[in-house]
Chains A and B, each alone.
Chain A
Amino acid sequence: MNPAIRVENLSKRYTLGSGPPGGRTLAETLSNTVGGIGRAFTRKRVEPLPRTKRPTDFWALQDVSFEVHPGEMVGIIGRNGAGKSTLLKVLSRIVAPTDGRATVRGRMGSLLEVGTGFHPELSGRENVYLNGSILGMTRREIARKFDEIVAFAGIEQFLDTPVKRYSSGMYVRLAFAVAAHLEPEILIVDEVLAVGDQAFQQKCTQQMRSVGRGGRTVLFVSHNMPAVQNLCRRCIWLKGGRVMADGPAAQVIEAYNRDVADVGGAEVDLLEHRGRTPDSVSALQRVRISDDADGRSPAVPMQGTARIEVDFRLDAPLPDVTLGVVVKDAYHAPLFGINNKVSPAPVQLAPATAGKVVCRIPNLPLMPGTYPLDLYFGSRTEDFDVVYNAAELTVLAADVFGTGKLPPASAGPICWPATWEIHSA
Chain B
Amino acid sequence: MTEAESLPTNATSGPSETDGPPSEVHADTLPVTVIAPDSGLGLGTFAELWRFRELLLFLVWRDVKIRYKQTVVGLFWAVLQPVTVMAVMAFALGRVAGQPGAAIPYWLFVLAGLVPWTFLSAAVSGAGMSVVANQQLVTKVYFPRVLLPLSAAGLAAVDFLVGCLVLAIAAPLAGVPLGWHLLAIPLVVGVLVLVASGLGLLLGALTVKYRDFRVVLPLLMQLWLFLTPAIYLQVSGTLGGMGDIIQLFNPAQGVIAAFRAAALGTPFDWPALAISAALGLILFALGLWYFHKIERSFADVI
The interface of chain A, by Cβ under 8 A from chain B, is 1-2, 14, 20-21, 25-26, 29, 70-73, 89-108, 110, 112-113, 116-117, 119, 121-122, 126, 129-130, 133-136, 138-139, 145, 148, 162, 183-185, 209-216, 229-231, 233-234, 248-251, 253-254, 257, 301, 398-399, 402
Of A89, A134, A210, A215, which is within 8 A of B137 by CB?
A: A134
Within 8 A of A (CB), among B159-215: 209-210, 212
**A26 CB, nearest partner CB in chain B, Å:** 4
A250-B8 Cα distance, complex, nearest whole Å: 12
The interface of chain B, by Cβ under 8 A from chain A, is 1, 3-4, 6-13, 16-20, 22-23, 25, 27, 30-37, 39, 54-55, 58, 61-62, 65-66, 69-70, 136-143, 209-210, 212, 296-297, 299-301
User: Is A1's CB under 8 angstroms from B27's CB?
Assistant: yes
A398-B39 Cα distance, complex, nearest whole Å: 44
- Known pairs A213-B16, A213-B22. 9 more at Cβ < 8 A? A102-B34, A117-B137, A121-B65, A133-B55, A134-B141, A185-B25, A213-B13, A213-B17, A215-B22
**B1 CB, nearest partner CB in chain A, Å:** 4
- A129 partner residues in chain B, CB cutoff 8 A: 58
- B212 partner residues in chain A, CB cutoff 8 A: 26
* Nearest B residue to A91, CB-CB: B35
Of B13, B16, B27, which is within 8 A of A105 by CB?
A: B27
User: Is A183's CB under 8 angstroms from B23's CB?
Assistant: yes
* Nearest B residue to A396, CB-CB: B1
User: Is B33's CB under 8 angstroms from A95's CB?
Assistant: no
User: Is A134's CB under 8 angstroms from B55's CB?
Assistant: yes
Of A104, A119, A249, which is within 8 A of B32 by CB?
A: A104
**A366 CB, nearest partner CB in chain B, Å:** 16
User: Is B23's CB under 8 angstroms from A21's CB?
Assistant: no
- B141 partner residues in chain A, CB cutoff 8 A: 92, 94, 110, 112, 116-117, 134-135
Of A145, A216, A250, which is within 8 A of B3 by CB?
A: A250
Most buried by A among B11, B20, B138, B296: B11
- A257 partner residues in chain B, CB cutoff 8 A: 1
**A60 CB, nearest partner CB in chain B, Å:** 10
A253-B54 Cα distance, complex, nearest whole Å: 42
- A102 partner residues in chain B, CB cutoff 8 A: 34-36
User: Is A250's CB under 8 angstroms from B301's CB?
Assistant: no
A398-B4 Cα distance, complex, nearest whole Å: 11
A257-B54 Cα distance, complex, nearest whole Å: 45
User: Is B37's CB under 8 angstroms from A98's CB?
Assistant: yes
A212-B4 Cα distance, complex, nearest whole Å: 18
Of A97, A119, A184, A254, which is within 8 A of B1 by CB?
A: A254
Of A94, A98, A133, A254, which is within 8 A of B142 by CB?
A: A94
- B210 partner residues in chain A, CB cutoff 8 A: 20, 25-26, 29
- A399 partner residues in chain B, CB cutoff 8 A: 3
Of B10, B11, B22, B66, which is within 8 A of A122 by CB?
A: B66
* Nearest A residue to B137, CB-CB: A117
**B145 CB, nearest partner CB in chain A, Å:** 10
* Nearest B residue to A10, CB-CB: B35
- B65 partner residues in chain A, CB cutoff 8 A: 121-122, 126
**B202 CB, nearest partner CB in chain A, Å:** 14
User: Is A20's CB under 8 angstroms from B301's CB?
Assistant: yes
Most buried by A among B20, B34, B62, B136: B62
User: Is A214's CB under 8 angstroms from B1's CB?
Assistant: no
User: Is B11's CB under 8 angstroms from A71's CB?
Assistant: yes
- B32 partner residues in chain A, CB cutoff 8 A: 103-105
11 contacts between A and B (CB under 8 A): A91-B35, A97-B35, A97-B37, A108-B33, A122-B66, A126-B62, A130-B61, A134-B137, A184-B23, A209-B10, A257-B1
A70-B27 Cα distance, complex, nearest whole Å: 9
User: Is B58's CB under 8 angstroms from A231's CB?
Assistant: no
User: Is A130's CB under 8 angstroms from B62's CB?
Assistant: yes
- A107 partner residues in chain B, CB cutoff 8 A: 30-31
**B66 CB, nearest partner CB in chain A, Å:** 5
User: Is A95's CB under 8 angstroms from B299's CB?
Assistant: yes
- B138 partner residues in chain A, CB cutoff 8 A: 94
A106-B1 Cα distance, complex, nearest whole Å: 34
- A402 partner residues in chain B, CB cutoff 8 A: 3, 6
A138-B7 Cα distance, complex, nearest whole Å: 35
- B34 partner residues in chain A, CB cutoff 8 A: 101-104
